[in-house]
Amino acid sequence: MTIQHFDVAKVREDFPLLRQTVNGHPLVYLDNAATSQKPQVVIDSLVDYYTTKNSNVHRGVHTLSQLATDDYEGARAKVKDLLNAAHDKEIIFVRGTTEGINLVAQTFGRQNIGQGDEIIISALEHHSNIVPWQLLCQERGAALKVIPINDAGELLMDDYEQLLSPRTKLVSVLHVSNALGTINPAKQIVEMAHSRGVPVLLDGAQAAPHMLVDVQDLGCDFYVFSGHKLYAPTGIGILYGRADLLESMPPWQGGGEMIRSVTFQETLYNELPYKFEAGTPNIAGAIGLGVAIDYVSNIGLDRISAWEHELLEYGTECLSSIEGLRLIGTAENKAAILSFVMDKAHPHDIGTILDSQGIAVRTGHHCAQPLMDRFGIPATARASLSFYNTKEEVDILVKGIDRVLEVFS
Amino acid sequence: MSNLGELYQEILLEHNSKPRNYHELDDFNCSADGFNPLCGDKVTIYLKVEDGTVSDVGFQGSGCAISRASASMLTQSIKGRSVAQAQETFNAFHVMLTEPGADLDYDTLGDLETLSGVIEFPTRIKCAILAWHTLLAALNKTSDPVTTE
């Protein structure tokens, strides 16, 4: 891998927000797992859309509507290529990961999961991959089963094997942990479930922006991610579903776009993917996502992964040498997330002191309270890195933590 | 931010490392739980109220330095005071953290003025105020947990 040729200074020029100062210091943005910054080309695409093409999609015969539809559907094709899906119609535009999971829970879930059935999730899950299934379980009389983890934050695969049973109707686990950075063995998870005929949803919110994802190679039945973590606008996300499953599922929301014909007696539903896209979609957001995908693809997700891994190794080494600091999440296979606690300072205080030096990190439970409970901690401070971060910024983080130690000496 | 020093003053850090009255009371007659869902801070306040006076007070919980110091200083400021005075202290504290530029009741606040710098950190006001809302709930003998949301 030729990561020495990764020109981080050059890519940083593409992100206007990174140029600002915060609290009198150059911004060091290390909260990329919460949301990523946007390259100028994505920002420009929104302005361009609203300036020159704004109109509704799939509706009018007029020119603007056709231009908007072309760009919107063009974005769908780009997502299909990004995920290496088999067909464009397997790509459903949703608001984000959360909406994608809720869509599956309320359509596939309601159709296939009943009294006494079981859904398997893991101890690593974000609340968005817990609560939709709890709601479904309450409604259907089903049960949620949880794959435990070891102290490094890795799934215990033998326990997973044990949990799979004839009652299991779905496995829904994250691909990469937002709180710890653990990269799950997604392909193995899918294979084990499929050998028992159980479909699998992968929550790719923290994976799609940082690594090559091939849904056909993974073999998963559903894959969800959010645009805003992939350098695209907020309010746009993707649900990938295998075409035969999507075909067999009932529609989710009713309204315009998702119908073929409506009478007061009966409605015929539209074909995929429109069956699941009721109402006017987030057209500008989808187009922005397409541009963001072009942007990361031009850099190369393999190169992005390699650079972020180098940052992770450097950051792990630096933070590990700080006395009284403990990294939470030390999986062998990890994305560039450094979650930590300190003996003398609460994560919230760490966050405030770092912010005073222009360093943005997330502090709290990271929408993963059961995971925090597993480690017996209320919260962590989390630095989550992106390809536009530098080793110098990791050094600034370390100096910032030194300041925390000074205050709490 | 130059205000960092005003936020993490010596007194606050000292209360954080050695919180006062940090224990459950053996014979409390009202208590309340407080929870900040944003950051996971938790606090429980125990009160022994006799003849309209807070004769003893204790607290337990987990949280950041600001929430812990605030709770510790709370216990010191209301111990031995009347229920009405405790209410007044709550009011004075609330004004200090939520009304920029307001005239402060320094007599009532006493050492609590140390926490005035928190107003410059909007995301941390909830940390400082959690114990105080919990106190109010305990005084009202409310059994439902209070939250800062």
Per-residue HEC secondary structure of A250-313 comes to CCCCCCCCCEEEECCCCEEECCCCHHHCCCCCCHHHHHHHHHHHHHHHHHCHHHHHHHHHHHHH
Average pLDDT over residues A25-48: 98
C-alpha A109/C-alpha A249 separation (Å) is 9
Alpha carbons A190 and A198: distance in angstroms, whole number: 9
* Known catalytic residue at A367: yes
> What would the two tokens of residue B68 be?
């812990």
ipTM value: 0.89
CB contact under 8 A, A348 and B39: yes
Is B143 in CB contact (< 8 Å) with chain A? no
Fold of the domain spanning A3-30+300-407? Aspartate Aminotransferase, domain 1 (3.90.1150)
The interface residues of chain A toward chain B in range 363-392, judged by CB-CB distance below 8 A, are 363-365, 369, 372, 378-379
Domain limits, chain B: 4-143
- How many A/B residue pairs have CB atoms within 8 Å? 52
C-alpha angle A25/B69/B98, rounded to 5°? 65
Q: Where are the domains of chain A?
A: 3-30+300-407, 43-297
Residues A225 and A209: their CA atoms lie apart, in Å, by 9
The pLDDT value recorded for residue A103 is: 98
Q: Is B119 in CB contact (< 8 Å) with chain A?
A: no
CATH number of this structure's domain A43-297: 3.40.640.10
pLDDT tens digits, one per residue of A237-250: 999 999 999 999 99
Amino acid at A71: D
For A258-277, write each residue's pLDDT tens digit: 888 898 888 899 999 999 99
Mean pLDDT by 10 residues, chain B (149 residues): 80 95 94 86 94 95 94 96 95 95 92 93 93 95 61
Peptide bond into A273 cis (omega under 30): yes
Asked whether the predicted pLDDT for residue A160 surpasses 70, the reply is yes
> Has domain B4-143 been given CATH number 3.90.1010.10?
yes
